[in-house]
């Protein structure tokens, strides 16, 4: 009985000492966490001052995602013998010049992806990697400053696909107006005088027109997190059927050195592209379709995978 009481006493003593030790460690950690937060705050403030200095700022980050698989005699699925794979990548790059009286901002976005499914029991199937995502956008914005936050500006923006239908369609916006930069990381372009050139072999559907251009771009890096959001809108003065908008977003979280996890997604609304697909490229084309008879479905894409910060 004495041995049992002694063992019980020793057990509770050890538990008490361990709990006390854990509390002491947590108490020591708290001020260190506050110190780290204070240091990071000072670093962020210095980075903001650095970003505001005149001169060129150049950078890029991207996302790579992919997988490969192979099945033999896996009878639980519909295609028991197959090899499949998918791969995709996104690159966001910028080169910005900031001076006392003017700025020049240049940006490029590329998002490509391929997929394959090889049915080994079907000698006639397509076993090649096929393009699934194809996004290319490049822009150049020049502004003459009226103040620290407002400028008279001109913008050139070109977007298309590059793997299978380069410049078919392709869109080139040229316009002038004003640019507002309320904070260093946010740029808002408002150009009421803009011409949207549309290049395509299908000239009965795609049409160039005069209208207004609005672009909002936010690019930020906070510690190990980098993200970019870009909204580009064109409102045609001739017809709403000729208007379009695209919203792309990229996020990157660095885990080790320059490698991390990245996520990209995009949304687009373009009635001309929708009509062209239904008339010419759908599995069952409808040559009689018009702008008035179709639904302008929202276009989307997303990519998740490893990221690499350049």
Over its C-alpha atoms, the chain yields an Rg (Å, rounded) of: 27
Quick check: 221 and 251 in contact, CB under 8 A?
no
Residue 4 has what pLDDT?
Answer: 55
**In this structure, what token pair is assigned to residue 38?**
């204070």
With a cut of 50, list the residues of the chain below it in pLDDT. 14
Q: Which residues contact 89 (CB under 8 A, 6 or more apart)?
A: 62, 63, 64, 65, 111, 112, 113, 303, 305
How far is Cα 137 from Cα 90, in angstroms, rounded to an integer?
A: 12
Residue 55 has what pLDDT?
Answer: 83
Q: Which residues contact 82 (CB under 8 A, 6 or more apart)?
A: 70, 71, 117, 118, 119, 120
How far is Cα 109 from Cα 90, in angstroms, rounded to an integer?
A: 7
Where does residue 167 fall: left (phi above 0), alpha (psi -120 to 50 degrees), or beta otherwise? Answer: left
How far is Cα 36 from Cα 253, in angstroms, rounded to an integer?
A: 19
Residue 241 has what pLDDT?
Answer: 95
How far is Cα 245 from Cα 267, in angstroms, rounded to an integer?
A: 8
Where does residue 91 fall: left (phi above 0), alpha (psi -120 to 50 degrees), or beta otherwise? Answer: beta
Residue 195 has what pLDDT?
Answer: 98
């Amino acid at each position: 009985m004495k041995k049992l009481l002694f063992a019980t006493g020793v057990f509770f003593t050890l538990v008490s000492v361990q709990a006390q030790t854990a509390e002491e460690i947590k108490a020591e950690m708290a001020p260190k966490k506050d110190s780290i937060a204070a240091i990071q705050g000072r670093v962020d403030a210095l980075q903001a001052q650095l970003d505001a200095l005149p001169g060129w700022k150049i950078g890029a980050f991207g996302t790579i995602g992919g997988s490969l698989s192979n099945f033999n005699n896996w009878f639980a699925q519909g295609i028991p013998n197959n090899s499949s794979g998918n791969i995709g990548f996104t690159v966001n790059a910028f080169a910005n010049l900031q001076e006392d009286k003017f700025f020049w901002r240049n940006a490029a976005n590329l998002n490509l992806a391929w997929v394959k499914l090889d049915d080994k029991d079907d000698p006639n199937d397509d076993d090649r990697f096929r393009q699934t995502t194809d996004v290319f956008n490049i822009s150049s914005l020049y502004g003459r400053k009226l103040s620290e936050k407002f400028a008279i500006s001109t913008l050139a923006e070109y977007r298309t696909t590059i793997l299978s239908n380069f410049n078919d369609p392709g869109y080139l916006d040229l316009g002038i107006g004003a640019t507002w930069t309320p904070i260093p990381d946010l740029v808002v372009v408002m150009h009421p005088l803009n011409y949207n050139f549309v290049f395509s072999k299908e000239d009965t559907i795609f049409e160039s027109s005069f209208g207004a251009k609005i672009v909002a771009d936010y690019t930020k890096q906070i510690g190990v997190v980098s993200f970019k959001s870009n909204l580009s809108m064109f409102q045609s003065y001739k017809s709403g059927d000729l208007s379009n908008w695209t919203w792309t977003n990229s996020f990157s979280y660095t885990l080790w050195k320059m490698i991390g996890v990245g996520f990209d997604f995009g949304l687009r609304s373009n009635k001309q592209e929708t009509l062209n697909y239904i008339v010419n490229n759908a599995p069952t084309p409808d040559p009689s379709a018009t702008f008035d008879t179709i639904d302008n479905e929202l276009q989307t894409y997303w990519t998740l995978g490893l990221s690499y910060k350049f």
